[in-house]
Structure formats: structure tokens, C-alpha cells
């Protein structure tokens, strides 16, 4: 039986990956942080499973990580833990660097110090944010990076230290350069979930308006459940390598909004420009979406579109598995059933 250790197990991706690995017969160990309120909704349904084991630790605390890696002796580590909000990284830049950059180094060093250099495979959650102020379109494994936020700069260190340990020590470690992936488990402050939750609340009459930042920003959005399978596939290759995972399709925040409201039976029409742009319900004339300049970022990444050809060829990745419409439908359906 293989043993996997997942950092960030309570997050969106950690929860889907845990389900996948348990299904494959793995013993799954996860690292959770102590918090004054328990917030483990995404993994609560797994806690009775006899091959599901949680450990207290923190990516900023080498001692806790070393103790966990040294006792679990995992065959595979999936390093998903991060301060993952790009906007928030401008407010907590030092902490973001500590966890998203130094945290990766700590994991790699734990593996070496536990004597697992030749046996433990490591997946690092790298990101399309590395392309930042994009230098070509679409973005592939060969596109130069131009990180454009404290989050992306920290993740760039993580990316390179993984490559370095692969070359210096022959470790089996891979970077998954994942483009945005969403789901019904997405954190509520990311734009897609913020929109689908607002659609549900507006339909139920408990929210009157949705405030957003840059409506023209474009993303390559996929479904998180599909993406975690690629993480696992990367570690089953003969040789470690880095892969872009994306759908190869792009939509704006504005389009995501239109599609989500439309699916809930509201046809939105956007009028005006810049800060004066508004999303209006065509039937009632009510303004449902407005721009809040406070939600703009000091530097924003606005044109992400991935080229998933390498993953298609080597990982048998199917970027059409869940369409954009299907993704929006899954999220709106889930949020429409929320009890407030």
C-alpha cells in the first residue's frame, strides 16, 4: 500500500485529491493547521476512513514538518499548502513568501533529512500566475515567467527550488503549472465562487448587488476534480518533469458573470465602461453588478490562456472533460441549494 502525504489537505484541491488517492487504495496522511474555529468542511466526510490520518503542522514550521515526514515516511508528497489568494498576498507579503517559497524548501529538506531522497516523489503546486504579465499567448512550459504579485514571486522560488533539487540531488519532484481550477468547493473569496454564491443569494432575495473588481480580466478556468488527477499522473511518470494543466479556452470575469446569472434565469446586460460599468437585469432593469475600485489589485494578471499539449500527449490529459458551461452549472447548482 502506497502512503501519500498531502499538505493543504483541507483546501479545495487537497479534498479532491484525498478522495482520489483513497479510491486508489493509498493510505493518505494530511497536514492541518490549528485554528480557533474548526473549518474542515471539505474533508469532514472522510474523517471516519481508516486510511485517512491527519497531523498538526504548518509549512512555516520545519520542526513540525520534519517530525511528520520522518514518522510517516511517505512514498509521495503533494505540496498543496499555500497562502493561495493573490489579492491577499499584497497585504501579507512576508507571510506569503515564508509559506509559498520557504515552505517548499522546507518540504524538500525534510525529504532529504528523512533519508527519502531516492524514494519519495514530490508534487509542487506551481501556478499559471508565474506567467503574470504574460510574454506570449497561449502560455506553455517554455513561456518565460513574469510574476506580477507577491504570491507569484514566492511561487517562482518554489518552482525553481524544485527544479534545482531535481537536478542537484536527482530527486523525483515535479511542478504542476496549473491554470485556474474551480469547483463547488472553491474558497468564497475567489471570483468564480463569489459570483455563483451571489447569484444564489440574489435569486433568494438575501443580497441585492454583487461588487467586483476588474471585469475584463481573462482566465483559463477548468474543474478542480479533473485537475487533481493530473497531479497524481505526474508522479506516475518514469521521469520527473513539469507540466502545464489547462483547458486551452479563455473567458473574462464578465462572461463568467453573464453565464452564471443566465443559468439561474437572469439575463444580464453590461453597460458603461471602467469603474462605471454595470450589469443590469434585462427584465427588471435592476442593477445587479457594480464595480468596486477597492477590489482592483496593485498589479493584476489579465490574460491567462494555457497550452495543454504536453500534458495531452504525456499524461493523457483531456482538457475537454468538463466544459466551461458545465463548470458554471455545477457551481451554480451547488450554491442554489445552500441554506443561508
Note the residues at the interface with ligand GDD (CB under 6 A): 84, 86-87, 127-129, 179-180, 189-191, 194, 212-214, 217, 219, 253, 295, 297, 300-302, 304
Q: Pick the catalytic residue: 129, 184, 229, 255?
A: 129
| DSSP, res 306 | B
Asked if residues 85 and 190 have their Cβ atoms less than 8 Å apart, the reply is yes
Strands 27-32 and 3-7 come out as parallel
Nearer to ligand GDD among residue 120 and residue 202 (C-beta) = 202
Q: Residue 87: name its binding partner from ligand NAP, ligand GDD, none (Cβ under 5 to 8 Å by kind).
A: ligand GDD
Q: Residue 191: name its binding partner from ligand NAP, ligand GDD, none (Cβ under 5 to 8 Å by kind).
A: ligand GDD
Count of CB atoms situated within 10 Å of the CB of 91:
10
Copy the grid coordinates of residue 268: 444580464
Nearer to ligand GDD among residue 219 and residue 233 (C-beta) = 219
CA angle 145–151–156, rounded 5-degree value: 35
Asked if residues 272 and 215 have their Cβ atoms less than 8 Å apart, the reply is no
Q: Pick the catalytic residue: 7, 127, 192, 247?
A: 127
Distance CA 316, CA 282 (A): 43
Distance CA 72, CA 92 (A): 31
3-class DSSP assignment, residue 25: coil
Q: Residue 197: name its binding partner from ligand NAP, ligand GDD, none (Cβ under 5 to 8 Å by kind).
A: none
Q: Residue 10: name its binding partner from ligand NAP, ligand GDD, none (Cβ under 5 to 8 Å by kind).
A: ligand NAP
Residue 336 has, within 13 A of its CA and on its CB side, a CA count of 12
Q: Judge whether 326 counts as a catalytic residue.
A: no
Nearer to ligand GDD among residue 44 and residue 295 (C-beta) = 295
Enumerate residues 116-145 that contact ligand NAP by CB under 6 A: 125, 127
Nearest residue (beta carbon) to ligand NAP = 11
Stretch that binds ligand NAP, among 11-19, 141-149, 254-262, 283-291 (CB under 6 A): 11-19
Smallest CA-to-CA distance from 85 within 96, 94, 75 is with 96
With CB under 6 A as the contact rule, the residue among 19, 58, 76, 258 that binds ligand NAP is: 58
With CB under 6 A as the contact rule, the residue among 72, 81, 244, 304 that binds ligand NAP is: 81
Q: Is 67 in the site for ligand NAP (CB under 6 A)?
A: no
Q: Is 68 in the site for ligand NAP (CB under 6 A)?
A: no
b/e map of 254-271 (b: 16 or more CB within 10 Å)? bbbbbbbbebbebebeee
Smallest CA-to-CA distance from 264 within 198, 311, 218 is with 198
Q: Judge whether 322 counts as a catalytic residue.
A: no
Phi and psi, residue 237, nearest 5°: -70, 165
| Catalytic (active-site) positions | 127, 129, 151
For binding to ligand NAP (CB under 6 A), which residues are involved? 7-8, 10-14, 31, 33, 35, 39, 58-60, 80-84, 99, 125, 127, 178, 180-181, 187
Amino acid at each position: 500500500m502506497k502512503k501519500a502525504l498531502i499538505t493543504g489537505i483541507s483546501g479545495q484541491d487537497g479534498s479532491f485529491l484525498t478522495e482520489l488517492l483513497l479510491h486508489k487504495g493509498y493510505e493518505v496522511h494530511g497536514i492541518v493547521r490549528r485554528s480557533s474555529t474548526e473549518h474542515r468542511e471539505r474533508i469532514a466526510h472522510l474523517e471516519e476512513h481508516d486510511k485517512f490520518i491527519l497531523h498538526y503542522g504548518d509549512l512555516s514550521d520545519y520542526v513540525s514538518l520534519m517530525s511528520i515526514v520522518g514518522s510517516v515516511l511517505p512514498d509521495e508528497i503533494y505540496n498543496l499548502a499555500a497562502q493561495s489568494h493573490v489579492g491577499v498576498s499584497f497585504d501579507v507579503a512576508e507571510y506569503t513568501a515564508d509559506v509559498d517559497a520557504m515552505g517548499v524548501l522546507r518540504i524538500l529538506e525534510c525529504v532529504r533529512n528523512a533519508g527519502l531522497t531516492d524514494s519519495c516523489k514530490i508534487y509542487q503546486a506551481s501556478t499559471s500566475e508565474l506567467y503574470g504579465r504574460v510574454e506570449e499567448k497561449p502560455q506553455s512550459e517554455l513561456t518565460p515567467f513574469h510574476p506580477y504579485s507577491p504570491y507569484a514571486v514566492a511561487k517562482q522560488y518554489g518552482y525553481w527550488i524544485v527544479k534545482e533539487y531535481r537536478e542537484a540531488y536527482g530527486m523525483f519532484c515535479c511542478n504542476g503549472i496549473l491554470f485556474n481550477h474551480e469547483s463547488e468547493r472553491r474558497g468564497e473569496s475567489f471570483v468564480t465562487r463569489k459570483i455563483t454564491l451571489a447569484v444564489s443569494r440574489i435569486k433568494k432575495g438575501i443580497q441585492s448587488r454583487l461588487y467586483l473588481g476588474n471585469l475584463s480580466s481573462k482566465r483559463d478556468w477548468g474543474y478542480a476534480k479533473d485537475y487533481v488527477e493530473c497531479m497524481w499522473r505526474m508522479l506516475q511518470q518514469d521521469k520527473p518533469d513539469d507540466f502545464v494543466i489547462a483547458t486551452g479556452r479563455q473567458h473574462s470575469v464578465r462572461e463568467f458573470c453573464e453565464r452564471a446569472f443566465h443559468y439561474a434565469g437572469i439575463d444580464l446586460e453590461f453597460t458603461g465602461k471602467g469603474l462605471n460599468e454595470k450589469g443590469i437585469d434585462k427584465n427588471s432593469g435592476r442593477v445587479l453588478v457594480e464595480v468596486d475600485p477597492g477590489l482592483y489589485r496593485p498589479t493584476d494578471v489579465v490574460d491567462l490562456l494555457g497550452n495543454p499539449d504536453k500534458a495531452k500527449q504525456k499524461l493523457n490529459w483531456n482538457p475537454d472533460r468538463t466544459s466551461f458551461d458545465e463548470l458554471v452549472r455545477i457551481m451554480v447548482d451547488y450554491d442554489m441549494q445552500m441554506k443561508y
